[in-house]
Structure 1
Amino acid sequence: MLTGRRPFGRGGLSVGPVGYGVAALGNLYQALPDDVWPRCVPAAWDAGVRYFDVAPHYGLGLAEERLGQALAGRPRDELIVSSKVGRLLVPNEDYAGERDPGMFDVPATLRRVRDYSRDGVLRSLENTLRRTGLDRIDVLFVHDPDDHEREALDGAFPALEELRSQDVIRSYGAGMNQSAMLARFVRETDLDIVMVAGRYTLLDQSALDDLLPLAAERGVSVAAAGVFNSGLLATPRPGPVARYDYAQASAALVERAHRIADIAERHGATLPVLAAQFPLAHPAVATVVLGADSPEQIVSNAALVSEPLDPLVWAELADAGLLRADAPTADSVTERMG
């Protein structure tokens, strides 16, 4: 059972074990009905979630607008909001009624322009504050700079350092679907939080090779996102057409997930419980960020980390070659969290 709060960055923030990634509020893959999306953030709040992650990219700003509406009136000092920089939203002058091509079911009245410059960071933050209606954003991540590493190092990170030194934001970092570049950013900048998606999960522990040891050494907090690997680990028994990293999962990955599920069931657990709790055993990981597109799913996700687990499940997974032997497991995390 994982409860309590952990330090989140070096700016005095702390988080619970679960954060809510609100991409679905931007109509990810499909539009959320008007009687559903307004209930999502209240459901997370009632379940004890106080960390909310968003980005301009999500629904061309729609997720930021909806998150701001949902948080209006909540005690600001009790919650943490992170957003991202690197994709500016500008008017789509050629708009002719088409939908957004970027996985979000929204009108393409705006378009994304990559901009990792100092000016781009400042403009992005200004626009995020306007869309959310919040008085501040606590954490800013450089978003997916895979093909823009030099621009991020020369422009975005110095700008974020300036914003943190002026107490405009509390912490900054980067959010990516890879660990190698995040590790370089940990070495080369003074960031204090990173969000790594999909690279520290039951099916992919590659962040152990670079990012996680370095983050622990440098006192950098890690938010683990994509812990269900796009859905393959989100149900007790994945179907044959489950998704993995935004694409259809291979038969080999589906079979591996079923082998993990077999062991989980022998210990009275489920695949989603293991997937949510596994990353939290690493000393650098402060929280797992879980997406959801319904109030019911949010409540279910928030409860995953509260499920008691037989610590022998991790040893059996390692013995079966389904978990790296050097991966920290939950028999030590309870001692850290108290």
Structure 2
Amino acid sequence: MTPSPASGVPSRLPFALPRLGIGTAPLGGLFQEVPEQEAVATLEAAARAGITYFDTAPRYGHGQAEERLGRLLGPAGITEPVISTKTGWLLRPEPDGSPGTVVTDWTERGIRASLESSLTRLGRSSVDILYLHDADEYPEEVRRTAYPAVRRLRDEGLVRAIGFGMNHSGPLAAYVAEFEVDVVLIAGRFSLLDHDALETLLPLCARTGTAVVVGGVFNTGLLADPSPGAMFNYRPAPPEMVARARRCGEICAGFGVPVAAAAVQFPFLHPAVASVVVGCRSAAEVTANAAASGFPVPDLLWQRLAEAGFVPPRLVG
């Protein structure tokens, strides 16, 4: 096992993940379309910030996010990116060429077809990480065909590492316990507002050497902008969560620290976490998140956030 530079914990990954990456669901049109020129500017800003890790998936805009990465990374100046994509779902276009539907397919044929399509859109012969995507409710299919398929793809050199990516800690922990997993992506379950991954998933990953990538640190934007109408876990945030997010921001402001800095850096309080990916739809968001990842956060703030319930006390001493 190699050590993760972010955590120092031995990792199954055969390479080091950058500390900060960009999630590309917004470039696929999550919540609202991103014009082409804005997508170009977003990746150019990533290049200026030194960001080289990009997480994507066929489901992000019916392939649009992957296709944009394939076309735009090189011209933006990012010539050696680290790319993770996902499988388990196939795009079924309509005869007229319109996006059509997305369907699950956990067979080896489906897994391979999905990856081949992703590689075509990305303009690559291989990817660094392949996640089985949102496999929460498909344990038998994963056990029977999907996991053996991605292992073979890794053995063949089409991917360097394999794992699972999902929004729920319980099923993800069950897969880590059962299978040899290089890396997992957990979205929204390890943030200042949600500590669910801490109970089972993160300790298990620390023991098994499974690298952890954390997404959703703003919980669908609520921490970034805790105003009425904000989203929380992909749904309108209830008033009590808006109030809680505001309180978190107030505590951070009392220390002169942007809440975004605490949100982006919080996952690294756990040694199993190797990287954080943050969804960005504009150059301004890339620049802001890069700045947040390096903003000094004093130990006293972490302690104050722990006292207020935003940080598990065991992580601060």
Paired with 1:284 and 1:5, the residues of 2 have a C-alpha distance of: 9
Paired with 1:48 and 1:72, the residues of 2 have a C-alpha distance of: 14
1:231–1:244 contact (8 Å) kept in structure 2: yes
* Offset of residue 5 of structure 1: 5.3
2:7–2:271 contact (8 Å) kept in structure 1: no
1:25–1:67 contact (8 Å) kept in structure 2: no
Does residue 142 (structure 1) correspond to residue 144 (structure 2)? The answer is no
Which residue matches 1:120?
110
2:52–2:78 contact (8 Å) kept in structure 1: no
Instruction: Give 2:114's aligned amino acid.
Output: S
**CA deviation profile, 1:229-285 (whole Å, cap 9, x unmatched):** 0011114xx112211001111111111112211211111112111111100121111
For residue 207 of structure 1, the aligned residue among 188, 197, 202 is: 197
Instruction: Give 2:66's aligned amino acid.
Output: E
Instruction: Give 1:192's aligned amino acid.
Output: D
For residue 215 of structure 2, the aligned residue among 225, 228, 247 is: 225
Q: How does 1:38-117 map to 2 (within 5 A)?
A: 38-72=40-74, 76=79, 78-93=80-95, 108-117=98-107
2:47–2:78 contact (8 Å) kept in structure 1: no
Q: Out of 119-128 and 261-270, give the one that drifted further.
A: 261-270
Which residue matches 1:177?
167
* Offset of residue 79 of structure 1: 2.0
Change (3 A) 1:177 1:48: same
Which residue matches 1:280?
268
Which residue matches 2:256?
268
* Offset of residue 296 of structure 1: 1.2
* Offset of residue 146 of structure 1: 2.0
Paired with 1:6 and 1:45, the residues of 2 have a C-alpha distance of: 24
Q: 5+ unaligned residues in a row in structure 1: which ranges?
A: 96-106, 332-338
* Offset of residue 108 of structure 1: 4.3
Instruction: Give 1:119's aligned amino acid.
Output: R
DSSP 3-state at the match of 2:229: coil
DSSP 3-state at the match of 1:35: helix
DSSP 3-state at the match of 1:231: coil
DSSP 3-state at the match of 1:316: helix
Q: Out of 226-235 and 24-33, give the one that drifted further.
A: 24-33
Which residue matches 1:155?
145
Name the TM-score, length of structure 1 as normaliser.
0.87
For residue 323 of structure 1, the aligned residue among 307, 311, 315 is: 311
* Offset of residue 15 of structure 1: 2.1
Instruction: Give 2:59's aligned amino acid.
Output: H
Which residue matches 1:250?
238
Name the TM-score, length of structure 2 as normaliser.
0.93
DSSP 3-state at the match of 2:193: coil
**CA deviation profile, 1:56-115 (whole Å, cap 9, x unmatched):** 001111111111011236565x3210000011012224x6xxxxxxxxxxx843321101
Paired with 2:11 and 2:55, the residues of 1 have a C-alpha distance of: 15
**CA deviation profile, 1:126-162 (whole Å, cap 9, x unmatched):** 1111111112111000001122222122211111111
Paired with 2:86 and 2:36, the residues of 1 have a C-alpha distance of: 26
Paired with 1:127 and 1:185, the residues of 2 have a C-alpha distance of: 26
Paired with 1:118 and 1:183, the residues of 2 have a C-alpha distance of: 23
Paired with 2:31 and 2:254, the residues of 1 have a C-alpha distance of: 35
**CA deviation profile, 1:203-251 (whole Å, cap 9, x unmatched):** 000101110000000000000000100011114xx11221100111111
Paired with 1:228 and 1:322, the residues of 2 have a C-alpha distance of: 13
Q: 5+ unaligned residues in a row in structure 2: which ranges?
A: none
State the identity %.
40
Change (3 A) 1:9 1:69: farther
RMSD of Structure 2 on Structure 1 (CA): 1.9
DSSP 3-state at the match of 1:147: coil
**CA deviation profile, 1:300-323 (whole Å, cap 9, x unmatched):** 111111001111111112222333
Change (3 A) 1:320 1:24: closer
Instruction: Give 1:137's aligned amino acid.
Output: V
Change (3 A) 1:11 1:215: closer
